[in-house]
Each structure stands twice: as structure tokens, then as C-alpha cells.
Structure 1
Amino acid sequence: MKTTQEELATQIDEAQWDWLRAHLERGGLICVAADLDIAAVGERIAADDAASVQTWIETRKLTKPTAEQIAAWDGDQTVRFTTLIISPYVLIQEKLHG
């Protein structure tokens, strides 16, 4: 069955960094640029849309967390993330403070 963007939008959640650390350690975290809709990205990944995903990777819209990001998140217990699980990955977008 095809997963739609609308279905995925209902699965978006919020998480704190320490809840996501285990996914980082197994290599499953993917950072989604703030200007992308996380549900739309999830739908394209679930659909195996290699062209869209490759474009986002090449333009740094989809990345693995950097050492600098990890260090910052480890040091800030207030940071929160918008999350979406697209097995085996967890898509994350850092939420702005405020």
C-alpha cells in the first residue's frame, strides 16, 4: 500500500535529543532542512524516489548529523526536534527555540 503525505503528516511527532541518540548510534538519523516539509520528504523516501532524494542530498537538504551538531545537541537539553519515522530512518528537523 502506498503511503501518502497526508498519512505521514499524522505521524509527525516531537522529541528531545536524548530520545534520538540511539538512532544516531545505529546510523539511522537524517537531518531534513528547515525549508523542506518533513512529511513530503518522508513520502518521497517511502516511495523510493531516488531522484528527489539524491537532489536533496546533493544540495545538503538531507544530511547526517555533523560532529558540531551532535556536540551542540549534547550540550543543550532544551533542544527539540520534529521527527518522522520512515523505517529504518528517523527524519529530524531541529525546532527553533522560542
Structure 2
Amino acid sequence: MSSDLRAELKENLDEAEWDWLIPHVQRDAVIVVALALDLLDVGEAIANDRTSSVQQWIDQQLIAKPTTVQMGEWNSDRTKRFHTLIIQPYVLVQEIN
């Protein structure tokens, strides 16, 4: 695990409103990360191609594409905020409660 990569990812952590994320959802690039996970850990696993970790999270439904229900909720509150991390070509998002 490269601490350089983690430091770089940490610098790329940001916040965004749902409105800003919509174009990324339309190109099927948004991945929702459960609050139980650390956004940096997930970003690092994806960037380092650690498929076993990523597959485990997918199987446990801890990371997934946004559901129709989630998008409906977020569309009704377009100022809803998320922590975001861009790992090309994906945008990882985590709800801010």
C-alpha cells in the first residue's frame, strides 16, 4: 500500500452536491460507498486493482451503483451533499448525513 497514493487520494477528497453528480450518474460512473467503509480505503483498493477487496464489498452491497430509489430521494433534494473521490473513470460518493 503506497502512502504516496493515499496522500494523493486524500488531496482529491472533496464534497459535492447531488446536482453536480448527475452528469456522472448519466454516464454510469458513480459508485456509492456505504458509510461503514472509509472512502480512501475504497479508492485505494480500486486504484491498486485489489479486485478481491472490491468484489467482497460489492458482494456485501457496501459499494454499488446508485439505486433508482436513492436517485429519486436525491433528485428531490438536489443540494444533498456527498463526500467524493474521483478514481478515473469512476466518481466514488458517500452520503454526508
Aligned equivalents of 2:72 and 2:18: distance in 1?
A: 11
What's the RMSD between the two structures over aligned residues? 1.5
Moved over 6 A (4+): none
**C-alpha displacement at 1:12, in angstroms?**
0.3
**TM score, norm. by length of structure 1:** 0.92
**TM score, norm. by length of structure 2:** 0.93
Task: Say whether residues 1:4 and 2:5 are aligned partners.
Answer: yes
Over residues 3-56 of structure 1, what are the superposed CA-to-partner deviations in whole Å (9 max), with x where a residue is unaligned?
622221111000000100000000000000101110111011000000000000
Identity %: 48
- The AA in structure 1 aligned to 2:66 is P
Going by fraction, where is helix more abundant, 1 or 2?
2
Over 3 Å counting, the alpha-carbon distance change for 1:3 and 1:49 in structure 2 is: farther
Structure 2 unpaired stretches of 5+: none
The residue aligned with 2:88 is: 87
The residue aligned with 2:68 is: 67
- The AA in structure 2 aligned to 1:19 is W
Structure 1 unpaired stretches of 5+: none
**Aligned partners of 1:46 and 1:86 also within 8 Å:** yes
Count of residue pairs the alignment pairs up: 96
The residue aligned with 2:26 is: 25
- The AA in structure 2 aligned to 1:22 is P
**Aligned partners of 2:85 and 2:92 also within 8 Å:** yes
- The AA in structure 2 aligned to 1:63 is A
**Aligned partners of 1:3 and 1:43 also within 8 Å:** no
